[in-house]
């Protein structure tokens, strides 16, 4: 298989779990490298639906080592709950490994996350309120609690005695919320540490040994490219790096071991929470995109919030190819477009203020808000694709649509998903051992915008 990174090429919720599940079949190790239980992944196997938040979907394959890497932030209560749910369904979780140096989401992180979001007024980020941002903030401030601290009573006690009073000042004086009790937190979390101790280890050493043994490793990111802290639609982003570069730091490996990067995009586009979304559709079209394809209706797995829906954005797609160094694409939910008489793809933006045409994503957040999409319109294929199992079986207009996306992004479409089940997948080209993408002159030197 090789060492492969799977990343979301849009705003998250692209269907990465199904693609990861498909590739994990041949993986020896699956590594989740960033984020926390703000992620939601859904996999359907033999009519059974599995929803994951922290644990990689590779856990469904017996013997596959699944790693929660150093770059993650882990709510251990959520982890225990997810483990219990899998065990109740007869799943073996003994191959799960949790990084000792991953940071822990604590009760005060949850309280502060909700309080800060509520106090943003009209400038809400759209956080999942899972404490992710405050946990990463403590990590950067070098005051965070790590998984290893839950296994050391003296270390945990010392950190809580210093941290909790500090957090209580914020909770009480800034947000008028009740204080938290360091003693109660200590008692609860030292017991939690005992429950997860058997999973905790030096995961980077396991990954390094797997590389030396020439094992197949799959690196799985949460969220998507446009939610990356550095490269996303800031400030409407997550607090980590879901892009391909984040896989190396978040897993604890060097870039030289990576063989291939696969980007996942829906055949249209969605976004949860706040932030710019040029191709967003409202009323009938937006609602049809949201509701089509039940049980995969567009509702956030983690939050239950309805997703904002719109047409495929090739400007975002080209940006994702560039930022991640994508070798190929997996396009999901093509079947959702089966009953649309007319389908659009955004090929460029027009600045509503200046009239400038942008072929590439604007780097300035204020400019991004002003973008109006320029569309290429396609006649829909109006035929079911959910039963197709090869590219040639797809309706001609559906093939034309996929080919156009590939041409616009200068990146081959290797996988097409036409339904939630494992077998509702078309492999056009081997996504692992297919040819490496070569940048053309035009893609390597495209202008930021044209007058």
* Cα–Cα distance, 311 to 205 (Å, whole number): 43
**441 a catalytic residue:** no
Instruction: Decide: 415 and 263 in contact? Cβ < 8 Å.
Output: no
Cα torsion 404, 446, 223, 55 to 10°: value is 80
Q: Is 41 a catalytic residue?
A: yes
Cα 160 to the center of its chain, rounded Å: 31
DSSP for 36-104, please give it.
-TT--EEEEETTEEEEESSS-GGGGSTT-EEEE-TTBEE-HHHHHHHHHHHHHTT---TTEEEETTSEE
CB 210 within 8 Å of CB 218 = no
- 21, 41, 138, 335: the catalytic one is 41
Cα 259 to Cα 127: distance, rounded to the nearest angstrom? 33
Q: Which residues pair with 8 in a beta bridge?
A: 264
How many CB atoms lie under 10 A from the CB of residue 160?
A: 24
404 exposed, middle or buried (CB, 10 Å; 0-12, 13-18, 19+)?
A: middle
Q: How far is Cα 65 from Cα 28, in angstroms, rounded to an integer?
A: 6
- Count CB-CB contacts under 10 A for residue 384: 13
What would the two tokens of residue 439 be? Answer: 């940048």
- Residue 2 in 3-state DSSP? coil
- Residues marked active site are found at 13, 41
């Amino acid at each position: 298989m090789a060492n492969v990174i799977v990343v979301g090429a849009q705003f998250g919720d692209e269907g990465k779990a199904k693609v990861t599940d498909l590739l994990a079949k041949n993986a020896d190790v699956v590594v989740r490298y960033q984020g926390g239980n703000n992620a939601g992944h859904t996999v359907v196997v033999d009519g059974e639906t599995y929803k994951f938040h922290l644990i990689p979907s590779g856990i469904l394959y017996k013997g596959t080592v699944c790693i929660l890497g150093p770059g993650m932030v882990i709510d251990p209560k959520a982890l225990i709950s997810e483990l219990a749910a899998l065990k109740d369904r007869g799943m073996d979780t003994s191959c799960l490994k949790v990084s000792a140096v991953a940071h822990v989401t604590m009760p005060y992180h949850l309280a502060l996350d909700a309080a800060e979001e509520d106090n943003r007024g009209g400038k809400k980020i759209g956080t999942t309120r899972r404490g992710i941002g405050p946990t990463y903030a403590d990590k950067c401030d070098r005051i965070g609690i790590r998984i290893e601290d839950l296994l050391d009573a003296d270390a945990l006690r010392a950190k809580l005695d210093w941290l909790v009073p500090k957090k209580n000042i914020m909770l009480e004086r800034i947000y008028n919320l009740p204080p938290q009790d360091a003693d109660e937190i200590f008692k609860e979390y030292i017991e939690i540490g005992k429950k997860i101790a058997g999973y905790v280890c030096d995961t980077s050493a396991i990954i390094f040994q797997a590389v030396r043994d020439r094992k197949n490793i799959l690196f799985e990111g949460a969220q998507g490219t446009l939610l990356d802290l550095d490269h996303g639609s800031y400030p409407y982003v997550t607090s980590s790096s879901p892009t391909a570069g984040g896989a190396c730091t978040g897993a604890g490996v060097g870039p030289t071991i990576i063989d291939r990067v696969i980007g996942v995009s829906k055949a249209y586009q969605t976004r949860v929470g706040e932030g710019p979304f040029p191709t967003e559709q409202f009323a009938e079209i937006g609602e049809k995109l949201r509701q089509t394809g039940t049980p995969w209706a567009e509702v956030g797995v983690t939050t239950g919030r309805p997703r904002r829906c719109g047409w495929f954005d090739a400007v975002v797609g080209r940006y994702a190819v560039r930022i991640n160094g994508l070798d190929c694409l997996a396009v999901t939910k093509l079947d959702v477009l089966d009953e649309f008489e007319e389908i659009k793809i955004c090929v460029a933006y027009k600045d509503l203020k200046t009239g400038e045409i942008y072929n590439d994503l604007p780097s300035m957040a204020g400019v991004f808000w002003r973008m109006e999409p320029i569309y290429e319109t396609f006649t829909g294929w109006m035929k079911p694709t959910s039963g197709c199992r090869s590219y040639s079986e797809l309706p001609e207009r559906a093939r034309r649509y996929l080919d156009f996306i590939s041409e616009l992004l200068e990146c081959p479409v290797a996988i097409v998903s036409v339904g939630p089940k494992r077998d509702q997948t078309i492999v056009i080209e081997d996504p692992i051992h297919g040819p490496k993408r070569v940048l053309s002159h035009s893609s390597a030197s495209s202008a930021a915008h044209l007058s």
